[in-house]
Amino acid sequence: MPNSTLEVHPISGALGAEIRGVDLRNLDNAHFAAIHDAFLKYLVIFFRDQDLSPEQHKTLSRRFGALYVHPYLAPIDGHPEVVRIVKQPDDTLNFGGSWHADLTYLEKPMLGAILHAREVPTVGGDTMFANMYLAYETLSAGMRYLLDGLIAVHTARNTGYYKREKVRSMGVLESAKTTYDTDAGTMFEHPVVRTHPETGRKALFVNALLTVGLKDMTEDESRPILDFLFHHLARPEFTCRFRWDTGAVAIWDNRCVQHFALNDYPGQRRVMQRTIIAGDRPY
């Protein structure tokens, strides 16, 4: 597929755009600049009819930043920066089946991810994305004032009031081979509201999967605030939904986007290939 004039087609009013007329294996600087502009504007961008080898997948990812090796998902052979997420027909849970941003328990959470569909079910298996700029900007002035001074605690450990039982029910312990138990994960504190380092906009930066409390607050004090935010950020008007087909690619900004992998395709197989782009410390 030779590159031609890029076409950018928004897919919802909140976020997301499908980009046509480009082969991601062969990007010149002008095409990449247009793609990066769309990435910052629409927060998640989609491409169809691509065929990236693991090496080509890594080359594309490096255009956005340094690659990061996932701390507990096992890589594919020969490519430590690339993981393959497989849901087998008899798996009951799926990987990423809750609203979340990735790896927020790290000191420097990832900038973003590039996900490539290698095998998809005949129906189902969509991914939803949510705009955390809108989630913050639609809060009342009083709530924004409160949140701007708060620090959240993020962890992959079995701690806080979001216990392993809840994590298991969200489907993060199946469909991906792990290199160690997620109880061994790290813990870190980040602002509840982070400032995007490239756009300067503010975004909510808490998620139901990895945020376990608010600094200097008791559980009874922090839980109502977090539960409100987890409900608020998933409002339908903040979201878009992408229907995968084989060869499709999604690139999203983990600094201002959360995502949710739907588990509505029992008895079918789904194979996704993913890279992670290293990020910086939120402020």
The answer to whether the beta carbons of residues 233 and 204 sit under 8 Å apart is yes
Give the 3-state secondary structure of residue 66. Answer: coil
Per residue of the chain (283 residues), give pLDDT as tens: 556 789 999 999 999 999 999 999 999 999 999 999 999 999 999 999 999 999 999 999 999 999 999 887 888 999 999 999 999 999 877 777 789 999 999 999 999 999 999 999 999 999 999 999 999 999 999 999 999 999 999 998 754 444 444 444 444 444 444 444 444 457 899 999 999 999 999 999 999 999 999 999 999 999 999 999 999 999 999 999 999 999 999 999 999 999 999 999 999 999 999 999 999 999 9
Of the residues 100, 116, 190, 270, which is catalytic? 100
Q: Is residue 208 part of a domain?
A: yes
Residue 31 is a catalytic residue: no
Q: Is residue 19 part of a domain?
A: no
Q: Is residue 279 part of a domain?
A: yes
Q: Given strand 127-131, what is the order of strands in its sheet?
A: 239-242, 127-131, 257-261
CATH classification of the domain holding 129:
3.60.130.10
DSSP secondary-structure letter at 248? -
What local confidence, expressed as pLDDT, does residue 97 receive? 77
Q: Is residue 236 part of a domain?
A: yes
What local confidence, expressed as pLDDT, does residue 2 receive? 58
What local confidence, expressed as pLDDT, does residue 176 receive? 47
The whole-angstrom separation of Cα 119 and Cα 245 is: 8
Q: Is residue 230 part of a domain?
A: yes
According to DSSP, the residues that pair with 20 across neighbouring strands are 7
* CA–CA distances in Å: residue 267 to residues 31, 90, 248, 250: 40, 6, 22, 24
The answer to whether the beta carbons of residues 238 and 12 sit under 8 Å apart is no
CB count within 10 Å of CB 35 equals 21
Structural domain total, the chain: 1
Q: Is residue 41 part of a domain?
A: no
Residue 274 is a catalytic residue: yes
Q: What range does the domain containing 222 cover?
A: 70-283
The tokens for 47 are 């491409």
Of the residues 57, 70, 102, 255, which is catalytic? 102
Of the residues 84, 154, 259, 270, which is catalytic? 259
Strands 44-47 and 17-20: parallel
Helix axes 54-64, 29-42, angle to 10 degrees: 70
* CA–CA distances in Å: residue 239 to residues 24, 52, 90, 257: 25, 27, 29, 9
What local confidence, expressed as pLDDT, does residue 89 receive? 93
What local confidence, expressed as pLDDT, does residue 158 receive? 58
* CA–CA distances in Å: residue 281 to residues 31, 188, 189, 218, 228: 29, 10, 10, 25, 25
Q: Is residue 51 part of a domain?
A: no
The whole-angstrom separation of Cα 139 and Cα 142 is: 8
What local confidence, expressed as pLDDT, does residue 218 receive? 94
CB count within 10 Å of CB 270 equals 24
Q: Is residue 80 part of a domain?
A: yes
What local confidence, expressed as pLDDT, does residue 174 receive? 43
